[in-house]
């Protein structure tokens, strides 16, 4: 047995136990075994009563809000130890602490409060500090407040692009409609939804085209600004221009095939706009290669949705008010059907779209059908191979569903950003991957040791670039 996202070992009941409990309550819950070495060897605790008292006291005195009701402490029997660890403890017994996920997040160290130094989450087999963005997500989740509904803090907003869309749809857009739709709150202040739909929208989007099948040679790049609806139109125009049509003559007919099915391309773009986490600093972009288009969207799966449910139409919309506006404008027909339609558009093809998910990023890859016809199935899509960010082995008959990102995915994402932008800083790695400062530092130092990156500058101004 090894440590993982749901399992932690401690040799002694130290003060660190409070951090582990906080991490489990803020994530998915888990089990902490006291008296077990890091390698999973059950060493045992001789004074079990004292250990249990220390654990309970640490939870009661160190954590806020109160997490005692989420924790259950007991002593494992020798039979349970044999079944779980393969041997009995060398001395005494093993104390087991079972922790449930909490509903009053963020749980934190009482002496620190809800700041990164006091709030912890579980990242694989380790515990890490939560960044301010993650803490805000927890607060909004616990209070049932969405990012869309928060005050924007802006008063001088204009809505020329939105008004034009409403005019085309023959809908009225006045003060009453703006309140009803959620662009203004009950006090008349603009919300984040209003900011997203305004001409001053600060949430940009990046488009890029590359020569070949990797990011070494960039053909063009475009940064989109303005209302998200204006960005939506610009994304459609950009990708439509690059969706080439190829013809095959099969006597007596000429069969024309677009590189990407229109339905798939449209739904992929709409999903990026509706399901983006607008409160996240992660990069949002569409990258066009010869063999595929990669859509990278900030925000993993919404809470309450399993990865195996996504391609079947299960949906918890991250921005329901934005989706409602788009629905009223006739841009979308129904919520939750985007991915099923994308997969349906590739029915009967040699390759299928691939969905990959991490805690903070959602990635959709659409294969280029004309590239496949002319060059064969690309390496990232071959049966038994891995796509660039980790991928899933599959047969042609098998429709791949979402998958969790693997450790190598983080490296690929960092290298992708460095190759696209020239360099990356540790702080940018923290924000993009949603990891702690130490985790970001270890990843970058590892890439330096492997000769993939070099450190440029020192101190706060240091960055990491490709080794020439």
Q: Which H/E stretch holds residue 210?
A: strand 205-210
The pair of structure tokens assigned to 132 is 């301010």
pLDDT of residue 412: 61
Give the model confidence (pLDDT) of 334-385 as tens digits: 555 677 788 888 888 888 888 887 767 888 899 999 999 889 888 777 542 2
CATH no. for residue 81?
3.30.950.30
Task: Show which of 390, 405, 420 is a domain's final residue.
Answer: 405
Alpha carbon of residue 49 to chain centroid:
42
If asked whether residues 420 and 297 sit together in one domain, one would say no
- φ, ψ of residue 429 in degrees (nearest 5): -65, -45
pLDDT of residue 259: 92
CATH no. for residue 420?
1.10.10.10
| Of 193, 173, 213, 367, residue with least CA distance to 278 | 193
Q: Is 367 helix (H, G, I), strand (E, B) or coil?
A: strand
DSSP 40-74: S-B--BS-HHHHHHHHHHHHHHHEES--GGGEEEE
If asked whether residues 356 and 447 sit together in one domain, one would say no
Task: Show which of 365, 384, 405 is a domain's final residue.
Answer: 405
pLDDT of residue 395: 28
Instruction: Tell me which residue has tokens 């709409």.
Output: 270
| Of 30, 33, 97, 36, residue with least CA distance to 68 | 97
Instruction: Tell me which residue has tokens 């053909």.
Output: 219
pLDDT of residue 309: 54
Q: Kindly give the parts of the chain with pLDDT less than 70.
A: 144, 247-256, 301-316, 333-337, 359, 382-410, 412-413, 416-417, 419-421, 431-436, 460-461, 468
pLDDT of residue 398: 32
How many separate domains does the chain show?
Answer: 4
Q: Considering the domain boundaries, does residue 356 fall inside one? A: yes
Task: Tell me the residue range of the domain where 55 lies.
Answer: 7-143
């Amino acid at each position: 047995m090894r440590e993982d996202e749901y399992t932690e070992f401690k040799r002694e009941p130290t003060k660190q136990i409070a951090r582990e409990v906080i991490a489990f309550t803020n994530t998915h819950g888990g089990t902490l075994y006291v008296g077990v070495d890091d390698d999973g060897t059950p060493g045992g605790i001789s004074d079990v009563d004292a250990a249990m008292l220390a654990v309970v006291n640490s939870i009661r005195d160190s954590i806020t809000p109160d997490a005692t009701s989420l924790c259950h402490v007991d002593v494992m029997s020798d039979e349970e130890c044999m079944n779980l660890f393969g041997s009995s403890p060398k001395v005494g017994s093993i104390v087991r602490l079972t922790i449930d996920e909490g509903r009053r997040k963020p749980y934190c160290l009482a002496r620190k409060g809800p700041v990164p130094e006091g709030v912890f989450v579980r990242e694989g087999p380790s515990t890490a500090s939560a960044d301010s963005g993650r803490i805000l997500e927890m607060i909004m989740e616990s209070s049932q407040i969405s990012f869309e509904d928060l005050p924007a803090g802006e008063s001088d907003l204009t809505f020329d692009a939105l008004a034009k869309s409403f005019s085309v749809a023959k809908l009225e857009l006045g003060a009453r409609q703006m309140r009803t739709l959620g662009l203004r709150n009950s006090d008349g202040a603009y919300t984040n939804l209003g900011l997203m739909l305004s001409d001053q929208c600060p949430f940009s989007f990046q488009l890029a085209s590359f020569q070949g099948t990797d990011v070494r040679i960039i053909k063009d790049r475009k940064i989109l600004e303005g209302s998200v609806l204006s960005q939506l139109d610009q994304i459609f125009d950009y990708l439509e221009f690059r969706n080439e049509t190829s013809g095959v003559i099969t006597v007596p007919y000429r069969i024309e095939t677009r590189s990407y099915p229109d339905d798939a391309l449209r739904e992929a773009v709409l999903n990026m706009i509706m399901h983006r986490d607008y409160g996240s600093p992660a990069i949002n972009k569409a990258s066009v290669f010869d063999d595929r288009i990669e859509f990278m969207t900030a925000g993993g799966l919404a809470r309450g949705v399993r990865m195996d449910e996504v391609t079947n139409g299960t949906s918890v919309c991250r921005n329901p008010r934005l989706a409602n506006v788009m629905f009223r404008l006739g841009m979308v027909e129904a919520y939750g059907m985007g991915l099923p339609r994308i997969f349906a558009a590739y029915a009967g093809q040699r390759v299928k779209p691939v969905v990959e998910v991490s805690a903070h990023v959602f990635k959709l890859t659409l294969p280029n059908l004309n590239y496949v016809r002319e060059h064969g199935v690309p390496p990232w899509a071959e049966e038994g191979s891995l796509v660039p960010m980790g991928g899933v082995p599959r047969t042609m008959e098998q429709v791949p569903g979402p998958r969790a990102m693997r450790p190598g995915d983080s490296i690929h994402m960092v290298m992708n950003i460095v190759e696209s932008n020239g360099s990356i800083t540790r702080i940018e790695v923290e924000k993009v991957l949603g990891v702690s400062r130490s985790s970001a530092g270890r990843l970058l130092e590892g890439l330096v040791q492997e000769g993939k990156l070099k450190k440029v500058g020192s101190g706060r101004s240091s960055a990491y670039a490709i080794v020439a």
